[in-house]
Amino acid sequence: MTDDRSRLLIGRRAFTLSLAGSAFLAGSGLLAPPVFAQQAAQSFPKWVETFRARARARGVSDATYNRVFSGLKPDTSVYEQDRNQAEFTEQSWQYLNRRVSDWRIATGKQKAKQYSALFDRIEQAFGVDRRVMLGYWGMESAYGEVLSNPTHMKPVFNSLAALAWGDARRRKYWEAELLNALVIVERGWGTPQEMTGSWAGAMGHTQWMPEVWLNMGVDFDGDGRISPFGKPDDALAGTANYLVKRGKYRRGEPWGFEAKLPGNFNSDLADNKTRRPLSQWSELGITTIEGQSLSAYDEPARLWLPGGPGGPALLLLHNFYAVRSYNPSSNYALAVVHLGDRVMGEGPFVASWPGGERALTLAEIQELQQRLTAAGFSTGGTDGRVGGDTMRAVRAFQQKAGITPADGYASLAVLNALRQGR
């Protein structure tokens, strides 16, 4: 019996890929963010009492229900936060530059070393590469740094109650997540006070929604409860469990790789939708970025040019879509896997981004934040991380200084303008 698998060298890593007959399963996407219809059929106190019967039906005791809702006020600011989700529009290279930053790479290296034994256990139990887990952790919570920041984290029950009560269009979804959160308290896995998260109720190191916490969570530290807070053990293991069960992640396979296109390549073939065996991409003149032939491999792949013709060309394999199952954005998935690769010692993409520019260094971002703050544009800190506060400060400065587009991107042009006192 022959073994129809062989080793493909990608950068410093060798992976086993099939030589014939592989099946391709795209990861499933999450629901897109809602558009709120701010309508409530009854007052909030009356709605709370009416909703009690739903909680009882899920096994939530009156004692737990009263504990959660006693004195609770719905956080109606979540409606405005949802409307402002599309506040900034970024090119793919801007998205990556901001997230795969010097700070995230350096901090990720520290976390990889600090939690090496934990990642060994996760890889053994679930088969998910640590670079993927480090990418999620860095993307979702800056390795846990934002979890204690009240600017970013809100009381989850105040948010979910407001959404379940006031969002007529997606009320069933928010009601279900509120019930899931109540069950978590009933089980003793979390308290209302410690359950803080995003405006939509995502919590912990890897930002679980209550449904994920209940159904995909793993008690990986053996303390008798499942929690995405505190030690990262449960959060990372539960996310790995999610990738395997819902994303169909495959042990030992790469997410994809940067490719080299021939000079006469028809870029219309790169649509991030059509999948072909790697051997067929090889027939079109495509190799790995190092020039290795793909003619022997039948693994299905999709070709993506995230920056358009002339920029990085990526061949996406099954595990890219497994990663993407966590958030239905290809830019998000690319940032996760590229951040993980950089943390583990891989270099940046070889091809340059058309119209792009290099990312600011950690020291340059800190200087930009310091200069913006001194000029009256608060960045909410000068730690070298570019979040929403820094982006809003950059945009306000761009508008004042006449820099176009005023897109909130922390660029070299913005830093130079600040140095010049504009």
Residue type, 112: A
Please tell me the predicted confidence (pLDDT) of residue 26.
29
| Cβ density class 70-94: b for 16+ within 10 Å, e for less | eebebbbebbebbeeeeebebbbbb
Q: How far apart are CA 392 and CA 348, in angstroms?
A: 27
What does pTM read for this prediction?
0.87
Residue type, 257: F
The pair of three-digit structure tokens given for residue 330, joined into one six-digit string: 């290809």
Please tell me the predicted confidence (pLDDT) of residue 35.
42
The pair of three-digit structure tokens given for residue 132, joined into one six-digit string: 């993927």
CA distances from 260 to 287, 304, 365 (A): 5, 12, 32
Please tell me the predicted confidence (pLDDT) of residue 126.
98
Residue-level pLDDT, tens digit, the chain, 422 residues? 334 445 565 655 655 554 433 222 223 333 333 444 445 568 999 999 999 999 999 999 999 999 999 999 999 998 877 665 545 678 899 999 999 999 999 999 999 999 999 999 999 999 999 999 999 999 999 999 999 887 779 999 999 999 999 988 889 999 999 999 999 999 999 999 999 999 999 999 999 999 999 999 999 999 999 999 999 999 999 999 999 999 999 999 999 999 999 998 999 899 767 899 999 999 999 999 999 999 999 999 999 999 988 899 999 999 999 999 999 999 999 999 999 999 999 999 999 998 888 889 999 999 999 999 999 999 988 989 898 889 999 999 999 999 988 999 999 999 999 999 88
**How many of the other CB atoms lie within 10 Å of CB of 301?**
28
Contact 182, 65 (CB under 8 A): yes
Please tell me the predicted confidence (pLDDT) of residue 88.
65
